[in-house]
Structure 1
């Protein structure tokens, strides 16, 4: 499915019994802006593509009460990623994670390659993060159901936007 945020926003929303719009229905219409994600060398990413916005758990940390992982997550549009020549993959993403060993992710960053240039906002201390609705759309069910803290914070963030998960952690 291609990413079609404008069409999803223009479509008739599915309204739940509590008056909130269904995020699950909206996501089916909009799709996921993220095409791929993988770990790369953090210093090489900063050298090749400086100033990328935070995405994933790193962005969610700036917008909520969760703590980030031991690595930062960034988003980049596919056209910018391709124009840069890209970087070698160092690790693939797995749920549950392959290792919780201390130091396993040292020197790595998680890069999310998006079909669009990620829309950004500036939050505390000048950090650039992807916009909230796009951030929520970029999470897969696999990640959301694996990590209860992410599910809860995404749910809280979406409620502020008038959406609610039909299937979320209590």
Structure 2
């Protein structure tokens, strides 16, 4: 499915009995803005593309009570990534990651997006991906694997007026 946030926002929302909009219904209409993700050298990424917004668990860490991983996650558009020449992939991302937690310290997880990621500032001035776009990047596989992410994503979506029906309780 292609990414069509504007069309999904314009569509009639599916309201649930609690008065909130169904995030699962919205997600089916909007699609996922993320095309790919993989690890790269963190220092090289900062030199090549400084100031990228935080995405994934790193952004969710800044917007909720989630504790981030030992590596940072960033978002970049496919056009900007291709124009930069990119970086060598350090290892493929898998759920769960094949490396031990400490092995990621010199890595950054880069998410390649269909479009330029929309950015907001958290209360400390960090650039993070806009929350609704961020929520769309999480796959069922990731959410089923990680209860803490599922729970905090659900809390964030509630503040946006959505009900996350697949959330861990």
TM-score range, shorter chain: over 0.9
* Deviation digits for residues 107-145 of structure 1 (CA, Å, limit 9, x no counterpart): 100000000100001113321000000000011111111
Q: Distance in 1 between matches of 2:74 and 2:166?
A: 27
Q: Distance in 2 between matches of 1:68 and 1:165?
A: 21
Whether 1:167 aligns to 2:166 is yes
Per-residue deviation at 1:101? Answer: 4.8
Q: Distance in 2 between matches of 1:158 and 1:25?
A: 13
> 5 Å matches for 1:109-124?
109-124=108-123
Q: Which residue in the other structure is 2:66 paired with?
A: 66
Q: Distance in 2 between matches of 1:101 and 1:62?
A: 20
Whether 1:96 aligns to 2:105 is no
Moved more, 7-16 or 91-100: 91-100
> 5 Å matches for 1:116-155?
116-155=115-154
Per-residue deviation at 1:99? Answer: 2.9
TM-score for both structures, normalised by structure 2: 0.97
Q: Distance in 2 between matches of 1:147 and 1:25?
A: 21
Distance 1:125 1:166, change over 3 A: closer
Q: Which runs of 5+ in 1 are unaligned?
A: none
Name segments (4+ residues, structure 1) moved above 2 Å. 99-102
* Deviation digits for residues 81-109 of structure 1 (CA, Å, limit 9, x no counterpart): 0100111100111112213353x112100
Q: Distance in 2 between matches of 1:139 and 1:26?
A: 13
CA-atom RMSD, angstroms?
0.9
Q: Which runs of 5+ in 2 are unaligned?
A: none
Q: Report how many aligned residue pairs link the two structures.
A: 169
TM-score for both structures, normalised by structure 1: 0.97
Q: Which residue in the other structure is 1:41 paired with?
A: 41
